[in-house]
Chains A and B, each alone.
Chain A
């Protein structure tokens, strides 16, 4: 069983839901990222998504666009991110998922990436612009090295696509709660609970919901149906205002409040 599957299984056994937190690797620098991964895990994050910054993030709203720009300006590269994961593995066993766009990985080389990522201790990879139709070769490499390829489903996915993704899914399925880009929203769309239930019926892996979940209240609401809740932009926003010790404090407080809400949900 992969570390991701194990984490979800353990939570389920205890009747709990997973909190998945996203930060962009390298924002403001990778030394900070390395400190924040264990901090988030201690504060209640069950899975950590590390954004791999890309110059043309077409599925992201302004918050993550700017965060990616900061990370790239700081000289962040995929190989440095893998080195960071490798280094942090001495301090935490929290599942780590790399999230981003296909080109930096294609450029690195699919087989070489899968091997290096597995060696570094990466558990899963989620590529927003790599739908199942194009993912064949990448998934074969990832499977060989025991890395979970996580696919997305959205409110526009029909029955056929839900089945396509459900049969290939490893780790968890990421349900995008809005038809739109990443970013903070004022409310959760009414369709989420129903769609998550439909996907859960067809899937053997857990379903986590993300995009637009910004507050503990929203996280709790989503956790009522989903197996996991992903919070991204609302966390990344903290990086716009805080640095250093202040950032660590703000992040720890926010992540714990999300975890409490998810546990209540």
Chain B
């Protein structure tokens, strides 16, 4: 069975649950994407920018010291943190930016949580000469002041969102409202593998460069496929980017790591796959954090990029079909992993990526030394210094 179906369904998940105003725009986007995804010139231009602008391929780094310390499987890190702008997000914004350009859209908008996707969108808007407006929850603006300033330096307008919980989900509501209003000239750059079809597919395709490179690099170093893939999951774009090229390699285990916040039992977490129920939000059917009446619940994570009550529909499908496993790690475990990787390897991971590392810390010692783990280091940790300092009780 080929997934998704024509209307963007992965089994019961995905689809296009949007106001009528957006339907023609989504159909137009789908048509344009289906054309350009197979267009040689488009692909060459995308590859060109990934190589010359983003700096790909980035390394698959053998974390030897961490491996020895944990005393189990060999740990490889896919270094998305070394990309221009410091995270995997730019792979997708380059792709969508090139598409927007070809569709003649002069204005791009985006939602952002941690600010990484906002920065990546503001970056390509500067590069391609487009007007850019980024919607960001007021609470996140406070947590990620550095990225807010970065976006402004890049020429973007950052619009604070005060509605609801003033975090990522509300920023996405506001971006949708803006898109509904300015649909004639605006391209909505969604930052993750969620939202209405074709976004989950399109973002996955643009991000799957992560997995394609990792596969080839691992093969070159180890002469075979890796045993386990590990990546953090908020909306799930870096995870799906890593997993997707391995979907048909049944012997490769895939583990997505959600944010358990203060612990699943506390209720203050961001782990819809581990502890959510099926519902519809932001244009797609997926696992959500919600109450018994279908009202969306607040997510909590120390990492702003994982602080989202939903998840991409293809992850929901991979969970239900059993092809991928989903686990969760707490704020505290993520902070410990942040410190560990910084001290052992001299690599400061983003708090999002620290969740993946935290699971590697648990998993590696349980596996034999001949096995390998590829973990996605989705972004660098500079942006989180203030949050980490706060958590450690350090004042500047």
Contact = CB atoms under 8 A, between A and B. Distances in A.
Interface string A131-173: 1011000000000000000011111111001000100000000
A157 B20 contact: yes
Contact of B7 (A59, A72, A78, A133): A133
Contact of B24 (A102, A105, A134, A156): A156
Chain A interface main SS type:
loop
B104 interface: no
Interface in B148-189: 163-164, 169-170, 172-173, 176-177, 180-181, 183-184
Interface in A88-131: 101-108, 128-131
A61 interface: yes
B327 interface: no
A245 B111 CA distance: 43
Interface string B16-53: 11111101110000000000000000000000000000
Interface in B291-341: 292-296
A239 interface: no
A131 B17 CA distance: 7
B267 interface: no
Interface string B257-268: 000000000000
A235 to B, nearest CB: 20
Q: Which 8 A-B pairs have the closest CB atoms?
A: A107-B294, A104-B294, A180-B181, A152-B20, A154-B21, A55-B295, A103-B294, A58-B176
B295 A54 contact: yes
Given A103-B281, A103-B296, A134 B176 contact: no
A212 to B, nearest CB: 11
A191 interface: no
A161 B23 contact: yes
Nearest to B20: A152
Nearest to A59: B19
Contact of A181 (B181, B279, B290, B293): B181
B296 A131 contact: no
A251 to B, nearest CB: 26
A14 interface: no
B293 A77 contact: yes
A156 B24 CA distance: 7
A152 B177 CA distance: 16
Nearest to A151: B20
B252 interface: no
Contact of A157 (B15, B24, B290, B293): B24
B18 A131 contact: yes
A265 interface: no
B260 to A, nearest CB: 22
Contacts of A105: 294
A65 B293 CA distance: 18
Nearest to A105: B294
B183 A59 contact: no
A18 interface: no
B280 interface: yes
A186 to B, nearest CB: 15
Interface string A171-203: 000001001110000000000000000000000
A131 B180 contact: no
B294 A108 contact: yes
A57 interface: yes
5 contacts: A55-B164, A56-B282, A57-B173, A58-B173, A179-B184
Given A103-B294, A154-B21, A134 B15 contact: yes
Contacts of B170: 56
A158 B169 CA distance: 30
A59 B177 contact: yes
B245 interface: no
B283 interface: yes
Nearest to B23: A131
B280 A102 contact: yes
B169 A56 contact: yes
